[in-house]
Amino acid sequence: MCRWLSYMGVPIYLEDLIYKPDHSLIQQSLNAIEAKVPTNGDGFGIGWYTERDEPGLYREVLPAWNDLNLRSLSHQIRSGLFFAHVRASTGTETVRSNCHPFAYRNWLFMHNGQIGDYGRVRRTLETMIPDGFYDFRAGSTDSEVLFLLMMANGAEDDACGALRQTLTQVEEAMQSAAITLPLRCTAALSDGNRLIALRYASDDKPPSLYYCWEGDRTMVVSEPIDSNTAAWRAVPPNHLLEVTGGQEPSVWAL
């Protein structure tokens, strides 16, 4: 499973979260604590918003801890809304097109988790993606399928509704294929103006997800990036979290 973080608030340098904390995302790429595997070395990516509507994107197949370009970019880029992701593959190739975040126009998406027995429903799910969105499919992951389904289901008008509809579609396809393995995921989605995060599982073992609100900024992470345990709150299982402006995040059940 992967590790990721997202940030929305006053602009900061990306390195302030990706490198500097004592359990930063770079440290988690080497030694994650709450993941199924401790090492997340199957590529990485960052996505960020600044003056333009469409986000910047940098993805690579090297382990995050071994990429000097990531260190340099993180030192120079300052943003008020960004994503960062380190990948542990669940079976698909380690190629750039499979690294997160994924982008569609002004949208960013990243994911941790897995559709159980994905190979048995991959074709079914892909046929649900209209041609206009499927043309943007570049990789082979279930994560990208989830993203394009969300966009096809109307994320631009109702992102939370699109998330719910997509989960329902995936679970119905799994049930039709008599799949008994669970659907488990955390995800982050943004249009550049707000941040939406999801923690979900079809069983009782959702991947970990936490958030920290500090008034002028909110961080959402797979696991806490520092030892200030009192500051971090777990997102409840099967809940959505939404961040807009400088307001306290809203959390509600799916």
Q: Count of residues for the chain?
A: 254
Mean pLDDT to the nearest integer, 216-224:
97
Take residue 104 and report the two structure tokens written for it.
């569609």
- How far, in Å, CA of 85 to CA of 101, rounded? 7
Mean pLDDT to the nearest integer, 38-54:
96
Q: Give residue 242's pLDDT band: very low, low, confident or very high (50, 70, 90).
A: very high
Mean pLDDT to the nearest integer, 197-212:
97
pLDDT attached to residue 194: 96
pLDDT attached to residue 226: 95
Q: Per-residue pLDDT for 36 more than 90? A: no
Q: How far is CA 106 from CA 53, 55, 182, 237, in A?
A: 6, 6, 31, 28
- How far, in Å, CA of 251 to CA of 254, rounded? 10
Burial class of residue 195, CB neighbours in 10 A (0-12, 13-18, 19+): buried
* Beta pairing partners, 84: 5, 46
pTM exceeds cut of 0.85: yes
Take residue 246 and report the two structure tokens written for it.
């400088």
Average pLDDT, the chain: 96
Helix (H) or strand (E) holding 169: helix 159-176
Instruction: Set out the domains of the chain in order of their start, with CATH numbers.
Output: 3-111+184-253 (3.60.20.10)
Q: Per-residue pLDDT for 172 more than 90? A: yes
Q: Give residue 185's pLDDT band: very low, low, confident or very high (50, 70, 90).
A: very high
pLDDT attached to residue 32: 95
Residues with a known catalytic role: 2
